[in-house]
Every structure is written in C-alpha cells, then in structure tokens.
Amino acid sequence: MTRTRLRNARIWNGVDDGYAPFTSITVSDGRIAGIGDDGPVDEEVDLSGQALLPGFIDAHFHAYAALVDTPALEQLPLSYLAHHAARLMADALGRGFTTVRDAGGADWGLARALAEGLIPGPRLFRSGRALSQTGGHGDSRVHRGEPCSCGTIGNLSRVVDGVEAVRLAARETLAGGADQIKIFVSGGISSPTDPIAMRQYSGSEIRAIVAEARGRQTYVMAHAYTADAIIHAVCNGVRSIEHGNLLDEAAAAAMARAGAFLVPTLVAYEALTAEGGAYGLSAASAAKIADVAGRGADAVRIARAAGVAIGFGTDLLGGLHPWQLGEFRLRGAIEAPVDVLRSATSVNAALLNRTGELGVIAPGAHADFVIVDGDPLSDLAAIWDGGIKAVWQSGRRVR
C-alpha cells in the first residue's frame, strides 16, 4: 500500500475561514491517512506553496444531457448518450469536480463504468430518471391537441401521475440504485408546455415520493423556481431546492425552518443566453430565460440572510458544459470567496449526506484535491481563470 505525502502546501480544509496551520497531508489507500509530517511515506510531492483544496462537488449535473434541445435529446439512444457522458464526466473531473450529483438521467450502467474504472470521471450520485407530472417540466412531448395521460419514459425523466403511480415510480427508481429522487414542482425553461409559474404535483403526490425516499434513508430534490412552488415543496418534505431564482423572504424562511438546501445554478442562464441558440435552444425556451435569469443573485442573497444552507450546481446542457467553472465567477460576485468554496465542498457534502467523507481535508476523508496556483480564499479568479494546476481523486493524480 503506497503512502504519499503532499507537502509545502497552503491547505484549506473545506470548513474554516482561512488556511490550516499544517502544510502537509499523507494519503494512503484513497483516503487521507494523516495530517502533518508524521510517519514514513513511499513518495513525497512538493506543492511549492500552492493552495490545496478539497475536490469540488457539482450538485446539479446532467451526464446524459448531450444536447441543449431536450425534446430532441429524448429521441437519442442511450448508447449514444453514454459516449457523450464519458466525455462530459472526464472533462468535469479535469476541472476539479471529483464528485457530481446527477439531476436526472444517469443510469446504473454509467455508475458501474465509473466504479470499475472503465471511464474516468467524478464520483457519481445519481437520481435515475426525474419524475414529472403530465404537462410538467419533465414532459418533453409537444402536444398537438389533448394531452395524453398515458405516461412516458424518456432518457432524462419519466411522466407519472397520481399518488399510487408516483409511489410505485419512486420505489422503482430507488430499487434501480438511485441515490436520491428528483421531481419537478414548477415550470422550467427547456420544456415546451409549462409556464414558469405553474405549480406541479399535488401535496399528496409529493408526500408519497418523500415517504419512499425517507424509507430508504435518502431524500427528494425538486426543480422549483417560484416562491409558491418552493414553499409547496419544502412543506411537503422536499430537502433540496434546485435553482430557486424567484424565491422571496417567505420561501427562504420556510426553507430554513425545514432545513432544506438551495442549489443555485446561475451559470446555466448566462451560458444559455450567450450560446443556447447556437446549440438548438428554441425561441420559446429562450424567452423564458428572461423571467428567471436576473433574479438568481437576489435569491442567493435572500437565502443567505435567512440562514439557508446554499450548495453549488451548474445545470449545464450539451455544448455548454465548458462553462462549469463560471459558477465560481458568478457566485463570487455576490458572496465571499470562502462561502462559495464551502458551497462547492463541505456544504454539498452535507447535502449528499457525506459529511466528513467528501468536501473536506480531514483524516479518513476521500483523498480528493484541487491544487490551485494563487490565493482562492482571496480571489476566486484563481480557480476559474486557469489557476487549477492539478486534480487528485481517491489519492491518485488524475490531471
């Protein structure tokens, strides 16, 4: 068993406001075996004063989102999407994201390929196919006439209605190995038939899904934009609110009381505005962006003031994935660098129920690191402007 010491580093542990007093860590068998210069090692790596951070976690990632045009995406075979996923995952790992939570689509085949080392990529927490009501955000069918309530299963989501039907769908999703369940409770940008303000799924449907998730000791994450949808979700047991751009003080207070997390995805709107049209974003979807894009920063401020735990996500599709590190830039414009870094590490680890294992530099934690040239605790540009010099995952240098 090889023991490796990384020394002469400015180490940020994922939690504290400043750098740690120690400057070296020892890695063995994929975990952090020790802090400081104690015990023999097989090799040493001199980091020459660079910053060592915990590996980043993207809590809203879409491994199978090969296209921005989601209705077209649903027509593609999974074998094609899997090849795209392999590249998207490898690229994310190279940017420092050693863990991702997939927000709909990633299946057990991708998880197994990663676990067996067939492809490189972040550690994966998957939701299976997200659950949507008929005419909801996950219903990518373009109806010409009366909507069909027959249900459908696509690549990223499945349409299912009614308490007993959603209960069964939740059980099937969890039986398939999902780490959490994703649902849609408000309208969205990329879907053709639902306005942003549309509330989706009844309270009884949401409670049935939440009950099944809790029975498996996990939780439900919900796509939600409006304050009404957010309150509806958290009051019925949802733990993780995705996007949340239109939340207000009442919604933030409801989230804080429920102990719910907010996962903003600010970079998705910037990327869609800049390049979405070139990648097939419809005119109808582009028009929806204006309804939410300008409110994301205010939502973060309101949630922070209310004491809501704020995670870090990107929600990028297709050719927009290279924008991933841009979330640090946008969040850094409205929050202190250390708060943004905590969102992408220890806060997201808590969201994933992996406190102490991920997103932290501590004995026993996974040896996932991002090595940065510069001082990211003072200026996040050290991350998004080419400062990442190396990435380690499970004690092995992968970039």
Q: What is the 3-state secondary structure (H, E, C) of 208-230?
A: HHHHHHHHCCCCEEEEEEEHHHH
Categorize the per-residue pLDDT at 70 as very low, low, confident or very high, splitting at 50, 70 and 90. confident
- 230-243, pLDDT tens digit by residue? 999 999 999 999 99
Query: For residue 238, which of 246, 230, 226 has the smallest C-alpha distance?
Result: 230
Distances (CA, A) of 206 to 1, 162, 166, 316: 48, 10, 8, 26
Question: Chain-wide mean pLDDT for the chain?
Answer: 94
- 240-276, pLDDT tens digit by residue? 999 999 999 999 999 999 999 999 999 999 999 999 8
CA end-to-end distance (rounded Å), the chain: 22
* The pLDDT of residue 141: 72
pLDDT at 148 over 90: no
Query: For residue 287, which of 186, 198, 188 has the smallest C-alpha distance?
Result: 188
Q: Once rounded to an integer, what is the mean pLDDT over residues 216-223?
A: 98
- 32-48, pLDDT tens digit by residue? 999 987 789 999 999 99
Place of tokens 């008929």: 134
Neighbours of 278 (CB within 10 A): 10
Cα dihedral 367/371/375/377 (nearest 10): -30
For the whole model, what pTM was predicted?
A: 0.96
Side-chain half-sphere exposure of 307, counting CA atoms within 13 A: 6
* The pLDDT of residue 149: 53
* The pLDDT of residue 144: 47
Task: In whole angstroms, give the CA distance from residue 341 to residue 56.
Answer: 8
Task: In whole angstroms, give the CA distance from residue 133 to residue 206.
Answer: 11
Task: In whole angstroms, give the CA distance from residue 339 to residue 264.
Answer: 13
Domain annotation for the chain: domains and CATH numbers: 3-54+360-397 (2.30.40.10), 56-324 (3.20.20.140)
Q: Which of 114-128, 192-206, 298-312, 360-374 has the lowest mean pLDDT?
A: 192-206
Is the distance from CB of 233 to CB of 206 less than 8 angstroms? yes
* The pLDDT of residue 250: 98
Q: Which of 118-132, 276-290, 378-392 has the lowest mean pLDDT?
A: 276-290
Task: In whole angstroms, give the CA distance from residue 101 to residue 293.
Answer: 22
Place of tokens 């490796």: 4
* The pLDDT of residue 140: 76
How much of the chain, in percent, has pLDDT values that exceed 90?
Answer: 83
